[in-house]
Structure 1
Amino acid sequence: MRDIALNSVWKQNAGVVQILGMCPVLAVSTSVVNGVSLGLATALVTGLSSAAVAAVRHLVPNEIRNPIFITIIAALVTMVDLLMNAYVHGLYAVLGIFIPLITTNCIVLARAEAFASKNPLRQSAWDGFMMGIGLTLVLGLLGALRELLGRGTLLSGLDLVFGPQAAGWVIHVAPADYQFLIALLPPGAFLGLAALIAGKNWLDARARARTANRQLAPA
């Protein structure tokens, strides 16, 4: 289970390694709250759909496998969509079409096809959920970077999740009139994602170099 988590969150991260689900990553990551909220919704759907696919994998003929998987995913996304509309309507309105679009997210179907259709239920559910958590981390980091550079705040919109009392929890690191518009527009999303990809590649290169140095060091 630890290997599955490490692979999903770091080695095969959907956002900075596989470069999947780019539509929500680039469009919704204007703030930490938006990015993390959509990421957690995706993680929930991915975990539950992977568990469901693993449970029925021996019963589904290969010829209709993908339509069945998509039907399962669509049903779960509909449940999440209705729950968010009922309990966090303000956030639901902000995220808009990107909640139902989880159905067509490459990450969800990819894990169902590549892992859940070939592995037991427990491991499949964990793999799907952790793959969603990996995407959530990317969305959260990218949202924090864009929000901080673009508006000089962190956690803006938290009241959409926790109510009006959470409006005072927003962290302001710049004057109220500060704005760096490019960070909030699509070019800022591409530049921010490129920075995250470069950062991960740099950390991986350092880890490989340390490993190589240890192997070359005399006993």
Structure 2
Amino acid sequence: MATQYRTIVRDGLWDNNGVLSMLLGMCPTMAMTTSATNGLGMGVATAVVMAASSLLVATFRNRITQEVRIPVYILIVAAMVTLVDLCMNAWMHELYKVLGLFIPLIVSNCLPLARLEAFAAKEPVLPSFLDGLFMGIGFTFALTVIGAVREIFGSGTLFADASLLLGPAFKFMEMHLMSSDMGVLMMILPPGGFLVTGLLVVAKRILDVRAGKAIQMGGAHSAA
């Protein structure tokens, strides 16, 4: 059981990362990563929706018939998105105005629906909840890193307006690293999103290949 949970965590954070491995959820990835704060906010909202939706689908998986499963999944995700949307509008209104339409569009994001179909519909409640949670955290990690790179090279800042998301106590995270006129405009435009995402996907695959070779070499030495 512990091995299964470790696999779920590793898959969500790294091995099957929604953005860097499966290339799902590209619409919010390209649109909402102009800053690390926007990426973090969008990722956290998606993670909450994925964890709650996976929990509900796993709970009622034996009552949901095969014929209507996709509409039911969409309704569950839509309900969770509505709750998140209302909560952000109430308590994080400034960030809500920035994220705007992309919060409701979580309903059409491929990643939550893919995990509901592939995992939550077949597994018990706790593993399904953890799968949704860590897939969401992995998604948040990818969006935050992409947003950080784009923000640094495009605007010269890091975690600008973080206090809007995390509260005034986190204003220390807001960094001004270089003059804004030194930034590369392309990095905060759509081409910058594709460029940074592509480079990070390549970097991840290089690390995976090297890790695989290291494991093979370690196994060969052990056999010897």
Counterparts of 1:149-188 in structure 2, within 5 Å, are 149-163=153-167, 169-188=173-192
Question: By how many angstroms is 1:5 displaced?
Answer: 0.6
Question: By how many angstroms is 1:30 displaced?
Answer: 0.6
Q: Structure 1's 214 and 159: CA in aligned 2 closer, same or farther, altered over 3 A?
A: closer
Question: By how many angstroms is 1:86 displaced?
Answer: 0.3
Question: By how many angstroms is 1:9 displaced?
Answer: 1.3
Q: Structure 1's 215 and 165: CA in aligned 2 closer, same or farther, altered over 3 A?
A: closer
- 1:119 is aligned to 123
Q: 1:14 aligns to what SS in structure 2?
A: coil
Aligned with residue 54 of structure 1, among 52, 58, 62: 58
Alignment partners' CA distance in 1, 2:14 and 2:169? 35
Q: Structure 1's 78 and 178: CA in aligned 2 closer, same or farther, altered over 3 A?
A: same
Alignment partners' CA distance in 1, 2:173 and 2:40? 16
Alignment partners' CA distance in 2, 1:14 and 1:191? 17
Alignment partners' CA distance in 2, 1:29 and 1:120? 34
- 1:95 is aligned to 99
Alignment partners' CA distance in 2, 1:66 and 1:157? 38
Alignment partners' CA distance in 2, 1:15 and 1:163? 27
- 1:109 is aligned to 113
Q: 1:118 aligns to what SS in structure 2?
A: coil
- 1:135 is aligned to 139
- 2:207 is aligned to 203
> Aligned pair 1:33/2:37, yes or no?
yes
Alignment partners' CA distance in 2, 1:126 and 1:168? 31
Alignment partners' CA distance in 1, 2:108 and 2:39? 18
Question: By how many angstroms is 1:216 displaced?
Answer: 3.1
* TM-score for the superposition, normalised by structure 2: 0.93
Cα deviation per residue 1:179-204 (whole Å; 9 max; x = unaligned)? 21000011100000011101101101
* TM-score for the superposition, normalised by structure 1: 0.95
Cα deviation per residue 1:98-140 (whole Å; 9 max; x = unaligned)? 0000011111111111100000011100001100111111001
Aligned residues: 219
- Is there any run of 5+ residues in structure 1 with no aligned partner, and where? none
Q: 1:58 aligns to what SS in structure 2?
A: coil
- 1:7 is aligned to 11
Cα deviation per residue 1:53-112 (whole Å; 9 max; x = unaligned)? 001111111111111111111011000000000000000000011000001111111111
Alignment partners' CA distance in 1, 2:172 and 2:74? 41
Question: Pairwise CA RMSD of aligned residues?
Answer: 1.4
Alignment partners' CA distance in 1, 2:59 and 2:173? 42
Question: By how many angstroms is 1:25 displaced?
Answer: 0.3
Aligned with residue 77 of structure 2, among 65, 73, 77: 73
Tell me the percent identity. 44
Alignment partners' CA distance in 2, 1:165 and 1:7? 33
Alignment partners' CA distance in 1, 2:178 and 2:193? 20
Match of 1:133, as an amino acid? I
